[in-house]
Amino acid sequence: MKKSGCNQHLFIDGYYSKKLVALSLKCMHEISLVRNIIRTLEETFPEKIEKLSRIYLQVGILSNVQPILMQNAFEAVLLDEPRYNNSSLHVEVLPVLIYCDACDKDTEVLNYTFVCTCGKPSKNIVQGLEMMINKVEFEEQ
Ligand SMILES: [Zn+2]
C-alpha cells in the first residue's frame, strides 16, 4: 500500500467530520503531487518555466492517483500560483500490464485478473503503478 504522506486534519466550522477529513486528505495528497510536479518542472526548465503551457501525465490504474482529483488539485494550486494560469494538465491513465516469463510477453490485466493469455498467473507488474511526467509543452516565443 502506498503512503500518501498526508497527515493534516481539517476542521470545518468547528465540526469534525470523518467524511470531510477523508476527502480533504485525499485532495491534499493530489495537491502535494501537483506541487511536486511544478517544482520538478521549475528545476528542470528554469529558463522556460514562465511559458509553461501543457503538462502531460501518465498514471497507472494501480497508482492511487485519480485523474479528476489531479485536475481539481491543479486548479487549486493555480490559485496560489497564478503565473501558471495559462497552463493545463492532461492526465492519461495507463492500464496494468503483467509480464509472463513463459511467453516472454506483456498482457493487459482486465478486471483485476492477473493471468497471462496462456493461462499462467503472473504478479509481475510491468506497468500500472507509475505516475510520471510524460511530456511538457511551452508556449512559442
Ligand atoms: Zn504466458
Answer whether CATH 3.30.2320.80 is correct for domain 18-95+128-138. yes
Q: How far is the CA of 112 from the centre of ligand 1 (A)?
A: 16
Question: How many CB atoms are closer than 10 A to CB 117?
Answer: 10
* Residue-level pLDDT at 82: 93
Domain ranges in the chain?
18-95+128-138
Task: Output the pLDDT for position 112.
Answer: 87
pLDDT attached to residue 107: 96
CA distance 99 to 107: 6
CA of 3 to the centre of ligand 1 (A): 32
pTM of the model: 0.75
Question: Can you list the residues of the chain whose pLDDT is less than 70?
Answer: 1-27, 141
Give the model's pLDDT for residue 141: 62
Alpha helices, H only, the chain: 18-44, 67-80
Residue showing cell 468547528:
14
Assess contact for 96 and 109: CB atoms under 8 A. yes
Centre of ligand 1 to C-alpha 110, Å, is 15
CA 20 distance to own-chain centroid: 21
5, 96 contact by CB (below 8 A): no
